[in-house]
Each structure stands twice: as C-alpha cells, then as structure tokens.
Chains A and B, each alone.
Chain A
C-alpha cells in the first residue's frame, strides 16, 4: 500500500519532544565561541528628526565593545534590498539604522555591542537620542489624504496606485451598477495583526576570512542569501537556518537588524549574536493585514449579483516592503468564489508612521475574502434573503473550471457548492437555525449567530506560478538524501518530503533524510511561504526521485543481467526485478553498492515549475453573543477545506487548525493598536490579545479532495486556508446573532466594547 495519504507520524518529533529543537539562539557552534551581543536603541517617536546622539555614557559602561549609529556605517554598506521594486526609492530603500529621520516607534537608531546581552541592554539605556518631533500620519485614511507627508522627496504618502500599473482594473467611466435593483456599499476595516511566531528573530554570525557564516531564524535561507549582496556587494556567504519557531510570513526577507549583523561582526572582529525580545518583535518588525476597504455590490432583488467593486487602501507602514505589494493580491482574489459579470478593483498602498506592514498568513487574500463575504451578507440582508442562499445562487458551478474571472484570475479547479453543503451538514445548520429562532422567540440574553463564508485563495505566489529546487541523492548504503530548497519552520518537510520520495523509491521514510536550511548544502532554493512548499518543493522531490529510480534501474539491470527496459522497481518493497520474476531481485543496498563500485553517482536535481493553485472551502462558525455585555464566545467551528490531494492528513489538519485559530483570533481578540501619536499600545503578550486555548473550541474538519491538474502530486497549498475562511465567518456569525436588532455590520476585532456599542446604538 502506498504511504501517500496516510497518517505518518513526524520524523521531527522525537528530538523536539525530548531535548527541544535547535533554534538559532540554541546554536552552540564552536565558531561562535566568544560571541559579542547586540542590543538596539529604538526610536521612541513615530516621526522625528534625529538631532543628536550622545553615546559617551554608554560607551564607558561595563563590557561595551562599541556603539554604531547611522554615521558609523560606511558607504559601501547598502540599504535593505527592496522586496518588490515597485515603489519610490526613498520609501523602499530603508537604511539599516534610522538616518536623520525616524519614521516609526521601534525603528532601530543605534546598535550597541557588548560582551553579554545584559551589558548591551544596560548600555543601550544610557544612549541619549535627541529628537525633534514631526507631524505624524498613523491612520490609513489620514495618511491617504496627505495631511502630513512622510517622505518629502516623494511629495505624497501614496507609494503605489495599482490601477496605474495595470495591476488593478481601476474604476471605469461606465457605471457598472446602473442596471442593478439593489446596490449596497460598506466601509470595512481589516486591522493590523501581529504574526507573532513564538520564536522571534535571532541571528548569529561570524566571518571566516572573507566568507560570512550566518545563522538566522528565517523562512527562506536562499532568499536571505540573495538579499545580502544588495547590502554587501560581492559577499561570499553561507546562510544556515537551524530549526525555526514559526514564521507566518514575518521571516521572508531580510530586516535591518539582521542585515547589519555582518557589518558589526566585521568591525568589532567578533562572532556576533542578536536575539530579539517579544516587545522588539511586536514594535520592530511589522504587522499584517492593515487595509481599509470600500466594497460596493449590486444585483437583482432576487439575489443575483451583477456587479462588484472593491476599493482598497493598504497601509505599508513606514517603509515599503512586501506589505506594500499585498493589495495587489487582494485585487487578484477580489471576486471570491462567485460568478459576477462585472468586477472593478482599485488598490493603492500608502505609507504611515507605523512599523512596516508585512506578509501574514494569507497576505492579501484573506482581505479579499473578508470584503466579498461581508458584501454578500449585507447584500442578502438588503434583499431580505438568506445569506446562504444568496451564496449558493451565485457560486461558480463545479462544471465551470478552469474558470477565469472578469478581471483575469484563472481558477484551476473547484467544487464550491460541495464544500458549502458539506460544511452546513456537518454543522447541522437546520438545527442551528431552529436554536437561533427559539432564543430570539424567548428573548434570551445570549443570542446565537451562524456565520458562513465560502472562500478561494491563490497559493504558490502570484500567477502564473513558481519553482522550487530538490536534489535526490542515493548514498553508497542505499539510503536517500533529499536536498530541498523549501524550508520547514513547522510545516514538517522532513516527514512529508520523505513520504513523497519513499513512494517513488520504495524505501522506508526512516532511510530518507531531508536536508534543508543550509545554502552550502542546498545549492539553490526559494523557501517556504505562500503555501507553496508541497506543490513546488514536493513536486521537485517527486521528479528527482523518479529520475533517480530510473538511474538505479540501469544499474539493477546489469546486476540482474537483463535489459533495463525489462527491470521494474517494486515501490512496495524497494526491490528491483525483471518484470514477472520478483523472486530474483536486487535491493537499493545492492544497487547503490554496485553504483559506487562503478563510480556512478545515483543523483538527480532540478527545479519543478508549476502553476499556482486555488484551494477553496467553506467555514461555518457559531457565535454566542451576550447582549448585555457584548461578550462573544465561539462554541462551534466547522470547516470544509480543499487542498487537492492529501499527502498526510495529520499535517494537513494541523495546518488547518493553526490557520483557523489565527483567523478567529483576528476576528475576536487580536489587534495591533497604535495611539494617535503612533505609540504602540499592544507591544507585548500582556497587552496584545494573543488567542489562547481558553477562547477556542475544538474544530470539526470535513475533508474534501479536488486534485489540481497543475502539479504531479495534485496538491494545493493548505497553510493559509484556515486563516482566510474563519475570520469573515465569525464576523458574519456575530452580526447574524444581532441581525434582528437591525445590525448589518460590525468591524473586527469583535471586542465586547465594540459589540456592546453596536447593540446600544441599534
């Protein structure tokens, strides 16, 4: 029986459970002996001129080796390489330390180097920076109005207008709503949230002659290696990512604190380490989502949608990184799962005096789903129809795939109504409706709401697709090594990639080692983000495994004194034999030994290119709302998520669970808040509403497999789905619980105060 589709336990776990994984701060490499430690002095102003920096007291503190300000960085050290080269240079070319002007609270201004982390922190407290405050732009719409300009040389806070780049449709001359009986418009806030991997950023580095060896907590070792020459021209480097404690989009590119480390190590001629605190992670690196949207939807009074317009203003924070690009993803997925004849999108990114916005689980696609799902609910309410039935009426039918939206997005495969039906059935929707009616009838204090969302997302990156590298190598003992350019930071590649190879090679996964996260060992790679790894990286393992099996058949044929064409590899046993005569066979050990004897290396490598895939699903979330206090609890979450062919149900379910929790968290408890002056208000785990076990129920997961034709594994991405469907479903549930009061919309997060206010105002 094939190992594919089975609940294989993880190869990672024995170590993780008995001694703990080895994260960057745990690395005890002898080359890092005697490492010095860095602590950053960060701006306490959201926008200010830096008029002077007094380091004299700090410099004489115990253990201090040196203090580095922007003036101390030589000219041949560059700025942060642009994630996407789409923006005005000054907005995009962020300095490693604030230079002349600080643009958000938390921006690094000075690096203090000392013998120990505590000495560095103590000395950092003695650095005195004089600031001359400048007017701030914190709120997205305020920044968009250009009331206060952040980059004088640009003259506007707008970093990009996507329609002008041909990356959104723009608003046409013709009124697309002219023929609609019903038109509704809603302003929707998709607030800032913190990715908050439990491990923050961490770096250790050392120069060996002219070569830099750098360990760091990243999702993309090769991506970081690719970024370094932008700062240090012609640099020779080895990037090593040991185990990584989660990423969620936060650890894709290089950040100033990470990129300055090679400079500090060189100047002070010491191995150098920096591990951030949670507060630094919260105020220093950035947040996800951060959009204000205007959704307009129109159609006939019987619930048929004719036109939809989505206008998005994305907050890019103080500098344009990946986050400034994400409204483009929102544009791509604007239509959601619906067959809508006319679609218009407008999208722009504006800078604000807040930490740079970055990718966070879903990165632009959850925002698209949130908008259309809200719009459908409000449209249904306006028509006086069931939101479920309006969805059903407008879903793209299963026989329409591949389906291209009016604005050019091509969905590969889907069965949207099936996912909706399955989720509703598993949730016992009819019983929930009856319970809701009974509570309303009785006038219960705790009202019940049922929220439904149907979503589709794009995984693997922006269309058309992407590539990932893999090498499969057979050792002289007849075992396999996989060198993958994808990089697991929780996704279990050591297990799943071994399964893919095991299925093709007929080996036990115990005999297959997955090597990842070291740019000297793996010659090329892209990394793990955008739910891309199995579909691209796994497919690359699949390709190379098959090629290696073919190479091995040639050797086996010699041993069996047969024609290679007649030799087969029995992948259930790993035995090579002549077709029809399994009694005489050669093992991988036999073949590998013979190959070694002949001086033949059994190995194949290459990149697998594939088109993006479009996973989809339906979520049903039940909310209980205390009408006297506004408190929301979530007793039931049912999801039907399709990720194509399922490789390992355990891993897929785990990805769904984590995504669901983060999506619920955004709707219920988590918001990164700045005050009007740009001071972070929720800058640690004590102030930020990081969701805990106590706020969540166990989840009901309904399986669905609609293989994609876009890769040989049939796999779509699953990393982000949970976070895409669950947020609008919970929002919908809370609004639904209060719909009898005339409430049609409440922005997230659904804090007791916000819900109570909505009830009071109704």
Chain B
C-alpha cells in the first residue's frame, strides 16, 4: 500500500509491503542507513528514531503506521551543519566507540532530556535501559547526557 511520511522534514510517498517494519522502510527504501538494527526482539534500541517528537524503536512499528506522521532520524538531527547539543556532548565526552548503538542512543537521549530536563544520574541510567551499548560501559554516555542536562 502507499504511504506518505515526512522524514527529516522531507515528504516521502512510497509503496510498501504491509509487513514492512519502519526501520526497514527507512533503511532499504528511503536509504537512511544511519538507523541500525541490533536485535530481533526490540531490546537493543539501536533503531530508535523519533515519531512525532517521541522516541520509538523503529522495529516495533510497521511503516504503514507511520503514514501521515513525522519521523526524525539521526541524519536529520543536526541543523545547518551545527551538531545538536546531544551530538556535541557525545563527541566531547567520547560517548561512542564502534558507533553502532550511537544513532539510537543519541535519539533516545534527546527524547529523555525533552521529557526530563534535569534528570539524576539514576534517572538517566533508568531512562536508557532500553538502549544497549557494548563498547562504552555507558559511563561516557551517561556523562554526555548529564552534560546536556546541566
């Protein structure tokens, strides 16, 4: 069926198989490969994007459910060549190594701070529980999020 989705500010009208997951639509049909797939149980959060401003694991919804909605991916987060404060904080704090969890982790972190602008460290850790990282031990990720919250 045909769907129309606004992705990173740009309107996309495309034919999709009803069973296509949003993450596959973004990666394979739109060509936005910044969003990664890390698991098959909606556990890892590597595919986290924003749908209408809220963070969503894009493997948990079908592309057709995004019909008429606005999607923001890592590729759309920086504006006019300026890193988003969360991207900048990740860079300054060395909060990424292999980079695989990073797009999802950044998108989840942006959402976390929008919902709770002054979190405690425990709240940040709790809030990012659904985004897994194998490289950083989360130390610098938590640090980066706390930096943005300051």
For window 261-306 of A, CB contacts with B under 8 Å fall at 277-279
Beyond A9-B91, A278-B39, A692-B128, whether A198 also contacts B97 by CB under 8 A is: no
A20 touches B98 (CB 8 A): no
Interface: B101 (CB within 8 A): yes
Collect the chain A residues with CB atoms within 8 Å of residue B34's CB: 19-20
Q: Are B98 and A489 in contact (CB under 8 A)?
A: yes
**Interface check B12, CB cutoff 8 A:** no
B40 touching A17, Cβ below 8 Å? no
Is chain B's interface secondary structure helix, strand, loop, or mixed overall?
A: loop
**Do B46 and A198 touch (CB < 8 A)?**
yes
Is A211 in contact with chain B by the CB < 8 A criterion? no
- Pick from B40, B78, B98, B124: contact of A693, CB under 8 Å: B124
A195, closest chain B residue (CB): B134
| Known A13-B90, A654-B97, A698-B142: A693·B44 in contact at CB below 8 Å | no
In chain B between 1 and 57, which residues have their CB closer than 8 angstroms to a CB of chain A? 19, 27, 31, 33-41, 43-44, 46
A488-517 vs B, CB cutoff 8 Å, 1 = contact: the mask equals: 011110000000000000000000000000
Interface residues of chain A: helix, strand, loop or mixed (majority) = loop
Tell me which of B91, B103, B132 contacts A690 (CB under 8 A): B132
- Give the distance in Å from the alpha carbon of A358 to the alpha carbon of B37 in the complex: 24
Choose, from A244-252, A589-597, A744-752, the stretch at the interface: A244-252
- Show the binding face of B for A, using Cβ within 8 Å: 19, 27, 31, 33-41, 43-44, 46, 74-75, 77-78, 83, 87, 90-92, 94, 96-103, 106, 121, 124-126, 128-143
The answer to whether residues A490 and B143 also contact, given A22-B33, A650-B94 and a CB cut-off of 8 A, is no
A199 close to chain B: CB less than 8 A: yes
Binary B-proximity of A15-33 (CB < 8 A = 1, otherwise 0): 0111111110110100000
Is A696's beta carbon under 8 Å from chain B? yes
B41: chain A residues at CB < 8 Å are 278, 684-686
Tell me the smallest distance from the CB of B83 to a CB of chain A, in Å: 7
- Docked pose: A391 CA to B139 CA in angstroms: 29
Contact B128 A693 (CB under 8 A): yes
Do residues A490 and B99 form an inter-chain contact, with CB atoms below 8 A? yes
Contact status B38-A654, CB under 8 Å: no
How far is B91's CA from A21's CA once the two chains are assembled, in angstroms?
14
CB distance from A271 to the nearest CB of B (A): 16
A651 at the interface (CB under 8 A from B): yes
Residues on B with C-beta less than 8 A from A278 are: 38-41, 44
CB-defined A-B contacts under 8 Å, sample of 19: A10-B94, A13-B90, A16-B96, A19-B74, A23-B100, A25-B33, A198-B44, A198-B98, A199-B38, A246-B100, A653-B140, A654-B135, A662-B137, A684-B40, A685-B132, A690-B43, A693-B128, A696-B139, A722-B137
Contact of B77 among A18, A657, A698 (CB under 8 A): A18
Give Cα A118–Cα B39 distance, bound, in whole angstroms.
16
Residue of B with least CB distance to A701 = B139
User: What is the interface of chain A, defined by CB distance below 8 A to chain B?
Assistant: 9-10, 12-14, 16-23, 25-26, 28, 118, 196-199, 243-246, 248, 277-279, 489-492, 650-651, 653-654, 657-662, 684-686, 690, 692-694, 696, 698-699, 722
Is B87 a contact partner of A693 (Cβ separation < 8 A)? no
Contacts known (A243-B99, A491-B97, A661-B138); A28 close to B91, Cβ less than 8 A: no
A18: B residues at CB distance < 8 A: 74-75, 77-78, 83, 87
B137 close to A12 (CB less than 8 A): no
Closest chain B CB from A58 CB (angstroms): 19
The chain A residue with its CB closest to the CB of B93 is A650
Q: Would you call B43 and A693 a contact (CB within 8 A)?
A: no
Give 13 A-B pairs besides A17-B74, A657-B137, A690-B44 with Cβ atoms closer than 8 angstroms. Answer: A9-B94, A10-B91, A19-B74, A22-B33, A25-B37, A198-B44, A243-B99, A245-B99, A277-B40, A279-B40, A654-B140, A660-B137, A692-B131
> What distance in Å separates the Cβ of A687 from its nearest Cβ neighbour in chain B?
8
Contacts of B97 in A (CB 8 A): 246, 490-492, 654, 658
Residues of A within 8 A of B19 (CB): 118
Instruction: Determine the residue in chain A with the shortest Cβ distance to B34.
Output: A20
Q: Which residues of A contact B133 (CB under 8 A)?
A: 198, 693
Q: Which of A17, A278, A662, A685 has the most CB of B within 10 A?
A: A17
Chain B residues near A26 (CB, 8 Å)? 27, 33
Partner of B36, one of A20, A661, A722: A20
Residues on A with C-beta less than 8 A from B135 are 246, 490, 654, 658
Q: Are A196 and B134 in contact (CB under 8 A)?
A: yes
Contact, CB under 8 Å: B138 / A198: no
Contacts of A279 in B (CB 8 A): 40
Q: Which among A10, A16, A693 has the highest number of chain B CB atoms within 10 Å?
A: A693
The distance from the CB of B81 to the nearest CB of chain A, in whole angstroms, is 9
Distance between Cα atoms of A710 and B16 in the complex (Å) = 59
Whether the pair B139, A657 counts as a contact (CB closer than 8 A) is yes
> Residues of A contacting B129 with CB < 8 Å?
692-694
Check A197/B91 contact, CB under 8 A, given A19-B75, A684-B43, A685-B44. no
Complex formed: what's the CA distance from A662 to B137 in Å?
Answer: 7
A20 touches B43 (CB 8 A): no
Task: Write the nearest CB–CB distance from A124 to chain B, whole angstroms.
Answer: 15
Across the interface, do B40 and A694 meet the contact criterion of CB distance under 8 Å? no
Report yes or no: A17 in contact with B136, Cβ–Cβ below 8 A: no
